[in-house]
Structure 1
Amino acid sequence: MKKIKKRVFIPALAVVGGAAILGCIRGDLLSGNLENLFNISLDKLGWLYQIITAITFVLCIILSFSKKGRIRIGGEKAQAHYSFKSWFAMSLTGGIAVGTITYGVSLPMIYFKNIFGELDGFGIAAGSEEAAIFALGRIIHEWSFFPYSIAAVSALCIAYMCYNMKKPLSISSCLIPLLGDKKAGKLATVIDVLAVIALVLGLSGSLGGGIVLIASGLKLIYGIETTQTILIIITMLFAFVFIFSSIRGIKKGVRVFANINTYIFYLLLFILFICGPTLFILNHTTTAFGYWLQNLPLWTFDTGILGGETLVKWWTIMTWNFWIVYAPVTGIFLANISYGRTIREFMIVNFFMPSLFAIIWFGVWGGTAINWQMEGVVDFVPIIQQVGPLSALSAFFNNLPFTKVMIPLMFGLLILSFATSADSNIIAVSSLCIKDEGLENEAPIWVKLTWGLLCSIIACTMILFTKEQEGLLAIKYMGSVGGIIVFGVFILMVISTIKIFFIDKND
């Protein structure tokens, strides 16, 4: 217990545990109040989310191509701890979670068929060729360079302050260039507590989505009913994999699972690209990229006046919020594995390459789904409307070639994708709860176990003791409100990054 920051660990544990208990007792009350708070924040702060995200995007571009890119994290003599392949695998899977897999099919279809009114502000006919290009182009905007810039800026700021400036392992260290050591130190505990709460709640929401996704897939594909026993078994499987990986540590756990996960990603992409509508994928993804570039200025700063509330508020800005929830704590993990690399290399692995992967992934999966919808192979619309977006993935896999191989691969990918995202974040959260011993030292096993079990318990109980969708909404809004809390800290981190690299002397 001597290594533990009790002022961080105990308050964070109390708040998260209290929210979980309230959610189990009155899930409707919790989700309703959090939804109202979240709605107010997006209505009042949507413009600020857009501006800050745009700034992080520009920062990543400038830092990549300017002379600042030659600065080495850890100093000129620092040596990298991981091979380029493992580094990219951990970076990619540390942030991808189950979102890219889940929405790889459903989100392009939602936009393409205007299921919730996403095209209303543009006068585009649902199901048309233009709608297909819009769908893929909009996803490029929301799931590639912009969100990854949020994670990259946070991680770079933490890496530089902890490794180059030799400051304590705390998110508040990123505020030292703005506030000075004394003031930043006073805020350290509060900031770290808020970051831990936001990340744990966000992680619980992701786990809840993963549990329901697996359960719905088992029901749709194998006819296995979604009982409480099935939900508990799925939760235990998820928990075992990611807690085991986090306890094993980065080198023996996270790195191994990340490499396996990445190979499965590559295999599924290759199979679908070759066996799917290859020419359709190439043509529409290429055109969609140009469409995104053409609309980039407007989409970057539209607060919903032109694009409409459904698209901009409930998809774009909510996506930025989701990434900001993870950004400060995930930044600790990304900073850790980036030691010894230059800023230019850092941006290649944490900004450019994962963004390109996302474009390819959505182009292949989303392009195939759109083609199938056009050709009448499968109708995703009633599935999404009646069962939910999560079920679209199962319907998609049911129509793939080599079904007996692809479906088990899908379930394995879902479990590994969440695990490799969760284990890295559990390690990062746990590191904020121990007294400063440097980025390279990990927290005791029992601390990792505590947060891992708590995330699993929150996700499972919120689904079991409330109506399934009500419980998921409560978790979702808990995480989103956590993002609102962290948003102010994130803004200061962005300003601090600008000061570090463009005002202060650091060459």
Structure 2
Amino acid sequence: MSGQLQRPRRVGERPRGVGELGSVFWTSVGVAAVFVAWAALFTKNLNRVTAASLNWVTSSFGWSYLVVTLGILIFLVFLAFSPAGRLRLGKDTDRPEFSTPAWLAMLLGAVMGIGLVSYGVAEPISHLATPPHGLAEPNTHEAAVRALQYSYFDWGLHAWAVFAVFGLAIAYSTYRKGRRPLVSQLFTPFLGDKVNGPIGKAIDILAVFATLFGTATSLGLGALQINNGVGRLFGVPVNSVVQVLIIAAITAVFTLSAVTGISKGIKLLSYTSSALSIAMFVFMVIVGPTVFLINLYVESIGVWASDFFRMSLQGTAFGGLEWMQLWTYFMLAWWVSWGAFVGIFLARISRGRTIRGFVLGVLLVPSLAFFTWFAVFGGAAIHVDMFQGGDIAKQTAADFGNAFFATLEHFPLSGVTSVMAVLLAVIFFVTSADSNTYVLGSMTSNGSLTPRRSVLVLWGILTGVTAVALMLAGGLSALQNTVIVTSLPFLLIIACLAVSFWKELASDWRHGAPASAERDRTPDPKEKADAAR
């Protein structure tokens, strides 16, 4: 995922306290430094503790990830089709800053992230070889359908429900209520002025750590992909030393970007990534087994839809904990850890939109984009292994980063497409990490839209160092374990956030919002003229 937040170039008049480095900053930096030191100096102890914590968290509370995310999804659908769906994210007279096509394009830009390269082939092909929950025999027709079905589940509506509820709550709180863009401020309906005290600061600190470890996980995955790509293209060794160097180089780039605010350069990179993604997608549709992909796509969508609620609540009462840790629980935890960042981005581009339009756009458009990408690239890999004697699943099991490039080798112009895939991974790496660094700086600067350069540099370095520490501590498994364990407290915050948002929304609706919504539905001529301008 990526998407550049627009940052003001000039520092204007700030509300009192905004931009100050208080206890949230110092506590967050201190604990992050301690964690990095722990990972570097006591690696075996870290692995032992995180592994034990992982087993306890998932066996005792794994069900909560399923229940909370499904509950949020149902809440959002209800909200979209309720009368409150006509309310605007901002003043009643506000209209969207971006046209609907431009807004949808920006949503897709936020989607186009490292996950497409890291998991677009790796997850479906892994499920083909080891079908989820033993629902099919490996390498069979049914296994192929199940492989895409569970990939859709991991990358679809549940993930975007987490992002959407954050985006809604932040946009409503910031643009309609005039509060600072901090997670703690979303709890004002529950806590009142206490959001400015120790409880609110604790919430913001948890948001910082969820974002930090979510970003570090993405950086680690990005390093794995880039290393595998350049290894296949140029014979560069695939090992931890090269991956550390990649993380260091990219960290320097995105930190420089965050500090200098070279938004035009990042915009150009975002447009480039979108163009590359579309070009690769169209190319695979043309040269791949097109009819097979269409049939597999249609059938897997049908199975996903018919099994949706069963998948949404499938726990581990009768086993399967290890598989859930590797896939469903990890994915849901990853989305939770990205909630604050993506929510802030969605809020930034959605001022003036109705709640209904926001929910439907955020839930449906990115999910459909992911489904289609996984069906085309994952489906192509499945076809190679099932009908062409390929060994993509075997290569993926040996090294997760092999999957995408191993698939490209079975199709024309593999050298060109592999270079494009490496470029995609690098661009996704830079743009998403740049924005995350800015969000971390803002959250630890009391909601400032222009964090100090020194703060941005510090968070850029800490993000890169955290990713390196986790990579050296245990690679992909260390990244997965840590993101699951650290996301659990934030999952509770998300559940409470949804309740708090509904409490405020219902209160506003009872005290006159219906009239406002009615005005939104039938604006007077002056409002129409303002919107046109």
TM-score of the aligned structures, taking structure 2 as reference length: 0.86
Query: For 1:234 and 1:61, how far apart are their aligned partners in 2?
Result: 41
Query: For 1:307 and 1:370, how far apart are their aligned partners in 2?
Result: 27
Query: For 1:377 and 1:502, how far apart are their aligned partners in 2?
Result: 58
Identify the residue that residue 94 of structure 1 maps to in structure 2: 110
Instruction: Report matched runs for 1:166-245 at 5 Å.
Output: 166-182=178-194, 185-226=197-238, 230-245=242-257
Q: Which amino acid aligns with 1:5?
A: L
Instruction: Report matched runs for 1:58-457 at 5 Å.
Output: 58-84=74-100, 86-94=102-110, 96-114=112-130, 118-120=132-134, 122=135, 124-182=136-194, 185-226=197-238, 230-249=242-261, 252=264, 254-305=266-317, 308-385=320-397, 387-437=398-448, 441-457=449-465
Residue-by-residue CA offset, 1:127-182 (whole Å, 9 max, x unaligned): 11111111111111121111111111111111111211122322111112223333
Q: Secondary structure of 1:435's match?
A: coil
Residue-by-residue CA offset, 1:428-484 (whole Å, 9 max, x unaligned): 2211122345xxx332333222211221122234445x5xxx144334333322211
Between 211-220 and 247-256, the greater mean CA deviation after superposition: 247-256
Cα distance change, pair 336–105 in 1 and its aligned pair in 2 (3 A): same
Query: For 2:268 and 2:76, how far apart are their aligned partners in 1?
Result: 29
Q: Secondary structure of 2:327's match?
A: helix
Query: For 1:416 and 1:314, how far apart are their aligned partners in 2?
Result: 26
Between 244-253 and 285-294, the greater mean CA deviation after superposition: 244-253
Q: Which amino acid aligns with 1:449?
A: V
Query: For 2:239 and 2:64, how far apart are their aligned partners in 1?
Result: 43
Q: Which amino acid aligns with 1:275?
A: V
Aligned-pair Cα RMSD in Å: 2.4
Cα distance change, pair 107–458 in 1 and its aligned pair in 2 (3 A): same
Long gaps (5+) in structure 1: none
Deviation (angstroms), 1:335:
1.2
Query: For 1:184 and 1:351, how far apart are their aligned partners in 2?
Result: 32
Contact 2:59 2:321 in 1 (8 A): no
Query: For 2:344 and 2:259, how far apart are their aligned partners in 1?
Result: 17
Cα distance change, pair 244–71 in 1 and its aligned pair in 2 (3 A): farther
Query: For 2:324 and 2:39, how far apart are their aligned partners in 1?
Result: 28
Residue-by-residue CA offset, 1:193-233 (whole Å, 9 max, x unaligned): 11112211221121112112211232234322136663344
Cα distance change, pair 409–397 in 1 and its aligned pair in 2 (3 A): same
Deviation (angstroms), 1:425:
1.9
TM-score of the aligned structures, taking structure 1 as reference length: 0.91
Long gaps (5+) in structure 2: 1-16, 515-533
Between 282-291 and 261-270, the greater mean CA deviation after superposition: 261-270
Deviation (angstroms), 1:88:
3.6
* Identity score, percent: 27
Q: Secondary structure of 1:127's match?
A: coil
Structure 2 counterpart of 1:460, from 465, 468, 479: 468
Q: Which amino acid aligns with 1:55?
A: G
Q: Secondary structure of 2:120's match?
A: helix
Identify the residue that residue 3 of structure 2 maps to in structure 1: none
Contact 2:117 2:421 in 1 (8 A): no
Structure 2 counterpart of 1:494, from 494, 498, 502: 498
Cα distance change, pair 185–79 in 1 and its aligned pair in 2 (3 A): farther
Residue-by-residue CA offset, 1:293-327 (whole Å, 9 max, x unaligned): 11112111111236832444431122111111111
Residue-by-residue CA offset, 1:86-128 (whole Å, 9 max, x unaligned): 54444334355312321111111111111xx6342x3x11111
